[in-house]
A and B are shown apart, each in its own frame.
Chain A
Amino acid sequence: MTPKMLLLPILLPAVLAVLFLVLPRTLRLVRDALALAGAAVLLYYGFVFFSLKTLELSVPWLGLGIDFELRLYHFSSFILLALAGFLILIILYATVKMKDAPRAGEFFAYVFLTAAFANGAALANNFVPLVFFWEGLLVTLYGLITIGGRPTSGRTAVKALLISGFCDFSMILGIGLLWTISGTLTMSEISVEPTGIAAVAFVLMMVGAAGKAGAMPFHTWIPDAAVDAPVTFMAFLPAAFEKLLGIYLLARISLDFFKLKPGSGLAILLMIVGAVTIVLAVLMALVQKDLKRLLSYHAVSQVGYMILGIGTAVPFGIAGGIFHMINHAMYKSGLFLSAGSVEHRTGTTELKKLGGLRKEMPLTAFGFTVCALAISGVWPLNGFVSKEMVFHGALETGYTVFAVAAWIGAIFTFASFLKAGHSVFFGDRTREVPAVKESPPGIVIPILALAALCILFGVYNKLPLTLLIQPILEGHVEAGAPLDFTSHALDIFNPVALISIGCLVLAFLLHRHGFLKSGRKPFLASEPVHNLPVVHKLYDLAERRVFDPYEQGVKVLQGLSAVLFKAVDRPIDFIFEKVVTVTGEKFTGILKKAHNGHYANYLAWCLAGLVIIAGVISLLAK
């Protein structure tokens, strides 16, 4: 296994992407087969690399410390494996769901290109290639959203591009600052104290990582994309890939590049961002009327748990945050895929129109339920384990308020999923949707696979924790501190777990209350919360995008540009038109007249030139 093999996860998907762009639609079966084969190869190599543990490739590139360096170590191999796993599930799903979509070839191409860039970003050991791959993801993000083909898809794609681009820009600034502080661009060699300028760099890079992961306030494109982009995309990028990459970078920032201390200002900043994201996003999710939008707000909310976990800067909390990352990727992906399955058969994801589908789509219902329970943190699924770890970590920092926020989030998470599950699968069968069957195996298998993994990672949590998470934290804790997370992971007889269970009970009561109050319509179960006096106003404003920094930013920019236009641009334009262009034209005109084709004149210039040059040379030579 030579170091050059590290280029395979980057080059293979890239080559396949180009291939898919040119493959005509008639060769759909070839395309599907190639895609599955490619994803399988990547998965195989994911396992190979994971077992390899360490490998490095370093190619000198531009000098000045900018080299093309890839590094395989436990964390990056873990991410690589996870990326490959999600890729093959998505491809399998897409071969069925995107079968007749008009731009399916482009979709596959973008997906593989995303995989190539994501692999590169995960493996990069030098900031310059990292930024290169990170930026590449922007392009595929834009492309994938536009494939949705809805009238607002273009606008949402631009919004996603701009928000992500802003976060990336912030990250680049942070990297630049980090370079001046540490003097090197090789990631494995950097480790600084986060004080002074380093703190600024930390915040800038954190913005980049958190933005990629979709935390508040950089999340506003995700609910829009939920409607405007293909659901396969939603299951792929916002659910899985972006979280994996964003939290991966955030973890490296907090553990490797900067030595984050628990309780320090920066850690508290992280925890605040996490907590706010959890609560605000889940409140938005609660009142959604469309299943995909509901799921997308949850995606944002769950990122809060990850950021909160890492922000605790305590081994338990950090491990919880990272574990939550992979868990979330699994169940959120499963949830989106089930929503897609429902959409595939019924043609809609509006909660009002759906109901009682569990009899007709039992497998989808089962997968959805498992994932929903996992995301709500029900014992003994994986969500429970990682959430408990985050709660423990938050409490360990001494700032109980964050744990409280996390618990509030848990309440409403479960409440909204009760509403969603009840509305779609359980409850009465609505007449607005015709009789349907279960979705084809290509769609159902990924859902069930993910559900099974949720169960596995919960019950047998020792596997992921010791194999994947523990090695990441080695070296970052003081000697002797307990690194064993598994012993009481499923322990419910401690105060933290009991409070969590209490939250679940509260959520159930809330849901039941709303359900009964609205006349047994499950999709209105969240109305009591929605209609609370002050809260209602806030929800209205949120729906009108008053709290969306992007939209507000756009409005401000429009106002600013109007002012600038009148006060600054017009005058400059006047100067330009009347002074500069006219002068330029006159000058050009004079020159043009001089070039009249008269040979003797040209000779005269030569002679004059000779005299001047000779004169100058002799003057200067003295």
Chain B
Amino acid sequence: MIVQTALLVGLVLFSVLAIVLRDLLKSAISLAVASLLLGIIFFRMNAPYAGVFEISVVAGLITVLFILTIALTGAGDEVRESRLVNWVFPLVFVAFIVIDALVMKGLLGKIPALASGGETGSFGDVLWKGRTFDLVGQIAVILAGVFSVLALFRKRDKHD
């Protein structure tokens, strides 16, 4: 219980750090740590596949991509913003956490016992047989990704 809570708190903390930190490198590292913690949570909740995907894709692949990009690009100009603006998100976030905690306490009593998962079966079964339509969607996403990369990295012969 304690471990789970610590992992969850850590996850939230590092995620917030990822968007609040000004230094890009530190930001990317925070993301990697958050993802690692999430992967561990998945493992502990008996979802090994989810954990593997999470850690390898986010903490691994994406973090590498980010760090590469940061290394290849120079430091940009800092955008000057008023101090007030910087406080908005943290304040709202804290308020949200407080309200959330209070609400969840009251809510937990009212939630009926969660039904055990409807569609059981091995991962492969569920993916191929149970959710075939999603595969069509996956193909679409992959195609979209490929074409996006092709489009965004095309040679431009004239500027518009």
Contact = CB atoms under 8 A, between A and B. Distances in A.
A607 B96 contact: yes
B81 interface: yes
A488 interface: no
A599 B96 contact: no
A487 interface: no
Given A604-B88, A604-B93, A607-B92, A598 B81 contact: yes
Contact of A600 (B19, B96, B103): B19
B88 A614 contact: no
A2 interface: no
A: contact size bracket: 10 to 19
Contacts of A604: 88-89, 91-93
Main secondary structure of the interface of B (DSSP, over half): helix
Contacts of B92: 604-605, 607-608
Contacts of A601: 85, 88-89
A603 interface: yes
Contacts of A494: none
Given A611-B96, A614-B103, A600 B81 contact: no
A596 interface: yes
A607 B95 CA distance: 9
Contact of A596 (B85, B91, B96, B103): B85
A80 B85 CA distance: 76
Contacts, number: 33
Contacts of B89: 600-601, 603-604
B13 interface: no
B88, B91, B95, B96: most-surrounded residue (chain A CB, <10 A):
B88
Interface string A3-39: 0000000000000000000000000000000000000
Interface residues of B, number: 14
A596, A600, A603: most-surrounded residue (chain B CB, <10 A):
A600
Contacts of B152: none
Contacts of A610: 96
A605 B96 CA distance: 11
Nearest to B19: A600
A380 B89 CA distance: 100
Given A604-B93, A607-B96, A614-B103, A599 B88 contact: no
Nearest to A610: B96
A608 B100 CA distance: 11
A607 B89 CA distance: 9
Contacts of B96: 607-608, 610-611
A611 to B, nearest CB: 5
Interface in A329-371: none
Contacts of A600: 19-20, 88-89
Nearest to B103: A614
B55 to A, nearest CB: 25
Contacts of B20: 600
B114 interface: no
B72 interface: no
Given A604-B89, A607-B93, A611-B95, 19 more contacts: A596-B81, A596-B85, A598-B81, A598-B85, A598-B88, A599-B19, A600-B88, A600-B89, A601-B85, A601-B88, A601-B89, A603-B19, A603-B89, A604-B88, A607-B92, A607-B96, A608-B92, A608-B95, A608-B96
11 contacts: A596-B81, A598-B85, A600-B88, A601-B85, A601-B88, A601-B89, A604-B88, A604-B91, A608-B95, A608-B96, A610-B96
Interface of A: 596, 598-601, 603-605, 607-608, 610-611, 614
- 9 residue pairs, one from A and one from B, having the closest CB atoms: A600-B89, A604-B92, A604-B89, A607-B96, A604-B88, A601-B88, A608-B92, A611-B99, A607-B92
